[in-house]
Structure 1
C-alpha cells in the first residue's frame, strides 16, 4: 500500500472505533482480517497513524477545528510525520484509494502552530475534567507530564535471571539495536521509532522461546524490584493477572521461598501457567479464585504485593484510546475497589510484614490518597522511607521528582522514561 491508501485505512479504523465504541486493537485486527492484501508494514503504519491520532487528539483537534477521524489523521501525517500538504494533494489526485484532497482551509490549519494561550488540557492532550487531579499530582509540571504521556513508548524487556544474563539477551537482539535500560539492572530497551516504523516482534526470537526474557516495561521492572522480595520469603501476589510481576519476583527470589499467585479473574490468570514454565519459575504456587483459596495464608506472609486494578492512566502512551474513555464514575469505581483490596490484603501479613501497593496510574486519588486513607484506618502500619527504598534497590539516589508528597514513588515518561507507575511500601508493626 502507498501512503494515500494507508491514510484512508487509518481514517476508516478510527471511524470504526468511534461508531462501534470498541478498543483500537480490536478495530485494527478486524481491518487486517478484512483486508488481507495488506502486509505487515502496512498494518504497522496504519496502527501508528491511529495511535498517534489518539495520543494527540486534543491538540490536533484544536488546530484543525475538527475532531473527525479525517482531521486527526491528516494532522498526524503533516504535523507528526512531516508530510508536505502540497505533496499529499498530488498523491491524492493520482490514487484511487486516497482520501479527498485537502481543502485550502485544511492546508492553512495544518501548517499553523498551536496557540501559546491554548487551554492547558489541550496543550497536555488530556481530558479537561482531570485537570484538578493532574495539577495536584504534578503541580506546575502537569502540562509537561501530559505531553510526555502523549509520546510513543519504547519496547522494554526484562532479562529472566533464572535462565540468562542481560549481555546474552543484548547479543540475541543485536539486530534490533537493543540497549540497556537506564534504571533497571535487568532491562533491555528498543526506543520507539517515528512515522511508520515497526515495533520488533521479539516473541518469535529464540531467546524469548527459551525463556531468556519477557516483554515488560521498565517501569514495571522498577516497581517489581522496589517490592523488595528476597530469597526465602513467603510472598502473596494478590492481583497476579497474567503474571508479569510474579515472574519478576520469582527471579528476584532466585526460586527460593514461596510466591502464592492469585487473581480474582480466571481469564486474567490463565496465561500465567505457560509463562511460569517457559521462565523456569519453580517457587510459584498459583491459587485459583475460590472462596477459601487464601484462608490458610492469613497472618503468615512476609510480604503482600498488590498490583491493584486501576484506571491505567500510566499506560496512555500504549493505550491512548482509554485516555478519552475514562470517566469520573470509572475512577470512583476503581478507588472503591482499591480500598477494599487494601483492607483485605493486610489480613495476610504477619507482624513485621511488608505491604506493597502498586498501580499503573498517575492520579493521586488512586495513589497517595489511597495510602493516606489506609494508614488512617490501620495505625499499626508505617510508611517505608521511599528514598531509602530506592537506595537499597538500585544503590543510587532516587531520581528528582519521583518521591511523592505522600511518601510514595511515582514513575512517569517525563521523569523516568517509563510508563506511569506508583508504589508505596508499608510495614506492619511487630
Structure 2
C-alpha cells in the first residue's frame, strides 16, 4: 500500500468504529481480515495510526472544536498528522492526491484547518483535566473518588500503550524455559516484577507466529490478571469454579495452578466465548476443565451444586475502566446508566455464585474496574448481605501464595497502571463460614 492508501484505510476504519457498537479491536480485526491485499507491514502501520488516534481522541477533538471545526474521522486523521507527527500542511497535502484507495485532495477548509493546527501541541494549558486525561467528563467524580490527588498520574498512565505481558504455562515448562524459547526466536523478554510466572515484551508483535506461543508454553495475560489467578489459591485436587470464564485466560491459569488435578468448571453465559476457549485449553494442555454454559447467573445448575466447591472465582462483567490502555475506545461507549446496570448485575452474580462455595471455601470477587461502586462498595454490600462470609486480608493471601510483600495497602487487591504498571484490577477474597445452604 502507498502511504496515502494506509491513511485512507485509517479513515475507513474510524468510520466503521463510529457506526458500530462492537469494540474497536473486533471491528478492526474483521475489517483487515476482509481485505487480504493489506500486507503485514501495512496492517501494522494502519493499526498504529488507528490506536494512536483513539488514544488521543479527546485532545484532538478539543483542539478541533477550538478551531471551530466539527470532529470527523477524516479531520481527526489530518489533525493527528499535524499534532502528533509534526507533519507540515504542505506535506499533508502531498498525501492527499485523490488517487485510487487514497485520500481526497484537501479542500480550502482543510487547508485553513491545517494552517491553524500547524505548530500547536497536543497539550494546552486551557484543556480541562478530563481532556488531558482522555476520559469522559461525566466519569471524573467517580475516578476522583478512587484516586484523589493521584488521578492525573493514573489517567496519564492509562493514555499510554500497555506492555505485552505473558504468563508461563507451568503445565509445559518454567520461566527459564520460556525465556530461552523466546530468546531463540529473537525476543528479549524480562521477568515481571510481581508475578513469578510473568514475562514482559518491549513491544507488540504477532505472537501467533512464535513457537513458544504455538506450543502452549506462554499465554498472553496481563500481570495483574496473573496475580488475581494466583491469589485465588486453586490447588491440585480441589474443586474450583471460574464463574465468568469468558475466553478462558484465568481458567488456563487456574488449571496450571491445579497441575491438571482436581475439578475445574469454566462457566459462562455466552456459547461463542466458551467455544473460543477450547483451542486455548487444548494448546495449553489443560485437561481438568469442564466448560458449562449457564442460562443466567441463577441457572439451576448453581442450586444443584451448592456448597460443593473449594474456590469460586467471579471475574465479573464490569466497566473495564482498568483496561483503557488496551481498549481506548471503550471509555467513549460507557454511560452512567450502563455502569448502574453493571453494578446491579454484579450483585446478582455474587449472590448466586456464593451458593457454590463450601464451608471453609473461598469466594474471590474481581473486576478490571477502577470505580469504587464496582469494587470496594460492591464487596462491602455483599458482606453486609451474607454474614456467613468474612473478608480475608489480601496481604496474608499474597504472602502465602505469591510470597514477599503485597504492593497494596488495606484488605483488598487494587492494582493500577501508574502504581503497578498493570491494568487496573480489584479483588476481594472472602471465606465462607458455617454450613452450606
Residue 345 of structure 1 corresponds to 353
Matched, 1:409 2:413: yes
Does the 8 Å contact 1:261/1:285 carry over to 2? yes
Taking a change above 3 Å as real, the CA distance of residues 421 and 166 of structure 1, as seen in their structure-2 partners, is same
Matched, 1:177 2:197: no
Residue 129 of structure 1 corresponds to 138
Deviation string, structure 1 residues 392-424 (Cα, Å, up to 9, x no partner): 33322223xx446xx321222212212221111
Task: Say which of 322, 333, 337 aligns to 1:329.
Answer: 337
Distance 1:340 1:20 in 2: 29
Residue 235 of structure 1 corresponds to 240
Larger CA deviation: 89-98 vs 316-325: 89-98
Residue 221 of structure 1 corresponds to 226
- 1:17-416 alignment runs, 5 A limit: 17-29=17-29, 31-32=31-32, 35-65=35-65, 66-80=70-84, 82-86=85-89, 88-89=91-92, 91-92=94-95, 96=99, 97-98=102-103, 100-101=105-106, 103-113=111-121, 114-174=123-183, 175-192=186-203, 199-289=204-294, 291-399=299-407, 402-403=408-409, 407-416=411-420
Does the 8 Å contact 1:305/1:356 carry over to 2? yes
Distance 1:79 1:181 in 2: 34
Q: Which runs of 5+ in 2 are unaligned?
A: none
Query: How far 1:35 sits from its partner (Å)?
Result: 4.3
Distance 2:376 2:229 in 1: 19
Taking a change above 3 Å as real, the CA distance of residues 93 and 8 of structure 1, as seen in their structure-2 partners, is closer
Does the 8 Å contact 2:97/2:105 carry over to 1? no
Larger CA deviation: 272-281 vs 20-29: 20-29
Larger CA deviation: 243-252 vs 97-106: 97-106
Query: How far 1:72 sits from its partner (Å)?
Result: 2.4
Larger CA deviation: 128-137 vs 138-147: 138-147
CA root-mean-square deviation: 2.3
Residue 426 of structure 1 corresponds to 430
Distance 2:140 2:385 in 1: 29
Larger CA deviation: 283-292 vs 349-358: 283-292
Using structure 1 for the length normalisation, give the TM-score: 0.90
Distance 1:344 1:30 in 2: 36
Larger CA deviation: 352-361 vs 274-283: 274-283
Does the 8 Å contact 1:61/1:71 carry over to 2? no
Distance 2:153 2:7 in 1: 29
Distance 1:152 1:42 in 2: 20
Residue 196 of structure 1 corresponds to none
Does the 8 Å contact 1:216/1:244 carry over to 2? yes
Taking a change above 3 Å as real, the CA distance of residues 19 and 93 of structure 1, as seen in their structure-2 partners, is closer
Taking a change above 3 Å as real, the CA distance of residues 105 and 78 of structure 1, as seen in their structure-2 partners, is closer
Using structure 2 for the length normalisation, give the TM-score: 0.89
Does the 8 Å contact 2:323/2:424 carry over to 1? yes
Does the 8 Å contact 2:79/2:114 carry over to 1? no
Does the 8 Å contact 1:255/1:281 carry over to 2? yes
Query: How far 1:86 sits from its partner (Å)?
Result: 4.9
Query: How far 1:285 sits from its partner (Å)?
Result: 2.7
Aligned pair count reads 419
Taking a change above 3 Å as real, the CA distance of residues 105 and 295 of structure 1, as seen in their structure-2 partners, is closer
Query: How far 1:110 sits from its partner (Å)?
Result: 4.6
Query: How far 1:125 sits from its partner (Å)?
Result: 0.4
Query: How far 1:163 sits from its partner (Å)?
Result: 1.0
Query: How far 1:279 sits from its partner (Å)?
Result: 1.6
SS in 1 for 2:37: coil
Q: Which runs of 5+ in 1 are unaligned?
A: 193-198
